[in-house]
Amino acid sequence: MKWNKNFTTLMFGQSIANIGDVLYMISVISAIFELTGSASAASFVPFIVTSSMFISSLLTPLLISKVHLKWLMAGTQIGKTIFLGILALILIDLTFSNYYFLFLIIGLIGFLDGCANPIRQTLIPHYVKTEQLLQANGIAETVMQTIQAVMWFLGSLLLIILSSFQLILLVGGLFTISSLLLCFLENTKHQPTESRGSLEKIKEGWRTLSDTPVLKRIAMLDLFETIAGTVWIAAILYGFVNDVLKVDEKWWGFINGAFFLGLIVGSIYCIKFSPFIEKKLGTFIFVGSFASFIVTIIFSINSIPIIAIILSLCIGIFTQVKNISQQTVIQTSVSKEQLSTVYTSLNAIGTGIFGISSLIMGMLADLLGVQMVFLISGLLLAIVSTIVYKNKSLFVRNTMKQ
């Protein structure tokens, strides 16, 4: 892909922010666990983040109607930097009487993340040519997933030599650099619109999903895939490792790492073969969803640890090829001006359903066993592949919208 100043700046700025996000999450979870000794209190952090992102996804369209996309992106990062400074002050003297304030700050940072994520996805089509979209999406996913895979490991090592407070100071430096970089992005052609009723603006993205056949199908796919994906949360996967594979907890790390490696391999494949994939987006979305269904079913009945790692790797590859192809379809299915509200609506579906289905899948795992919930996950992915197959002609790059 030819060097693109704005896309490169966006990737650098967001990558530095994502590195900081992982380190910040590690430091906060560590601080809470160290103070309370409660895994439940520490595990409440992801729930707070997901809930805040869901609320943000619903309200972000109100900001999009008033603020340029570039400044909305940069502003959320500046806001996160400010809240992180407040978080650092709390960590200086963290006690049982004030640690609840951590959850408030975590929620506010999660709220800003819920705003930034759909804006980043919206900015990519503004900064690259339509024919480069799939390759750009592949690059973005490769970078983000590599950061996720590497930084959780490096962050844990950093925590050995640094305190939670010192790690937060490091994150503050990263967030500051990210904020500065994002300020150098060029303004897009997207213009804030005239003021309309708040409810109408919030409903805009949902109306676009409903009125656009391919987006309506993608929203259905996201619904089933989100529910299916909750079996991979730590609590359920730990149970699978202990009860089915009958190995110690380090194998959870191996399986998780294999999945992230699969995501990276899938992204690289999309970058390398983007011209070929773009001609057959519907086929690749179907193959990715169908293969994920088959491999998940096999995973659910397998009890051999090394095979579980290989299957997890395959799921990562097929998932990523499908998701990057689907991302390209979304970005070309409506005009660039409509993309931001479309993404906020899709993000609301993902974050809202994830929180609820995580609790449901956890209860089902206790009632039916962990193998059964993985089998249920596979069956949900079978529904996804059926929807894609029946509507394969809709999953194309629509150049008329760009």
The single-letter code of the amino acid at 63 is L
Quick one: 180 and 204 in the same domain?
no
**Is 332 domain-assigned?**
yes
**CA 91 vs CA 27, 31, 85, 111, 112: distances in Å:** 10, 8, 10, 21, 21
Using the predicted structure, report yes or no on whether residue 224 has a pLDDT greater than 70.
yes
* Region 237-252 average pLDDT: 84
335's CB contacts (< 8 A; 6+ apart) are 401, 402
Q: What is the CATH number of the domain that holds 321?
A: 1.20.1250.20
The per-residue pLDDT for range 258-310, each reduced to its tens digit, is: 888 999 999 999 999 998 998 899 999 999 999 999 999 999 999 999 999 99
Quick one: 153 and 233 in the same domain?
no
The single-letter code of the amino acid at 182 is L
**Is 241 domain-assigned?**
yes
Quick one: 210 and 314 in the same domain?
yes
Q: What is the structure's pLDDT at 270?
A: 93
Residue 329: domain span = 197-397
Q: What is the structure's pLDDT at 92?
A: 85
State the Cα–Cα distance between residues 95 and 227, nearest whole angstrom: 37
* Region 215-238 average pLDDT: 88
Quick one: 240 and 372 in the same domain?
yes
Percentage of the chain modeled with pLDDT above 90: 44
pTM to 2 decimal places: 0.82
Q: What is the number of domains present in the chain? A: 2
Q: What is the structure's pLDDT at 293?
A: 96
**Is 219 domain-assigned?**
yes
Q: What is the structure's pLDDT at 294?
A: 97
Window from 147-156, 160-169, 329-338 with minimum mean pLDDT: 147-156
Quick one: 133 and 208 in the same domain?
no
Quick one: 149 and 237 in the same domain?
no
Window from 2-6, 71-75, 352-356 with minimum mean pLDDT: 2-6
Quick one: 333 and 251 in the same domain?
yes
- Mean pLDDT score across all residues of the chain: 87
**Is 189 domain-assigned?**
no
CA angle 361, 364, 368 (to 5 degrees): 140
Q: What is the structure's pLDDT at 397?
A: 77
Quick one: 32 and 92 in the same domain?
yes
Using the predicted structure, report yes or no on whether residue 59 has a pLDDT greater than 60.
yes
Q: What is the structure's pLDDT at 399?
A: 60
Q: What is the structure's pLDDT at 120?
A: 87
Domain boundary among 149, 184, 219: 184
Q: What is the structure's pLDDT at 44?
A: 73
State the Cα–Cα distance between residues 70 and 388, nearest whole angstrom: 34
* Region 346-354 average pLDDT: 87
Quick one: 206 and 172 in the same domain?
no
**Is 388 domain-assigned?**
yes
Virtual torsion, Cα 189, 195, 199, 204, nearest 10 deg: -30
Quick one: 176 and 136 in the same domain?
yes
Using the predicted structure, report yes or no on whether residue 37 has a pLDDT greater than 80.
no
Using the predicted structure, report yes or no on whether residue 47 has a pLDDT greater than 80.
no
Quick one: 154 and 201 in the same domain?
no
Using the predicted structure, report yes or no on whether residue 115 has a pLDDT greater than 70.
yes
State the Cα–Cα distance between residues 162 and 159, nearest whole angstrom: 5
Using the predicted structure, report yes or no on whether residue 1 has a pLDDT greater than 60.
no
Q: What is the structure's pLDDT at 299?
A: 96
**Is 190 domain-assigned?**
no
* Region 124-134 average pLDDT: 87
Q: What is the structure's pLDDT at 184?
A: 92
H runs (alpha helix) in 212-335: 213-229, 234-240, 250-272, 274-279, 281-301, 305-333
- Residues present in the chain in total: 402
The per-residue pLDDT for range 162-202, each reduced to its tens digit, is: 888 899 999 999 999 999 999 999 887 655 555 555 667 77
**Is 191 domain-assigned?**
no
Q: Which of 395, 386, 156 is nearest to 293 (CA)?
A: 386
* Region 368-388 average pLDDT: 94
Domain boundary among 184, 214, 230: 184
Q: What is the structure's pLDDT at 318?
A: 96
Q: What is the structure's pLDDT at 163?
A: 86
Quick one: 201 and 178 in the same domain?
no
**Is 192 domain-assigned?**
no
State the Cα–Cα distance between residues 88 and 133, nearest whole angstrom: 39
Domain boundary among 158, 184, 210: 184
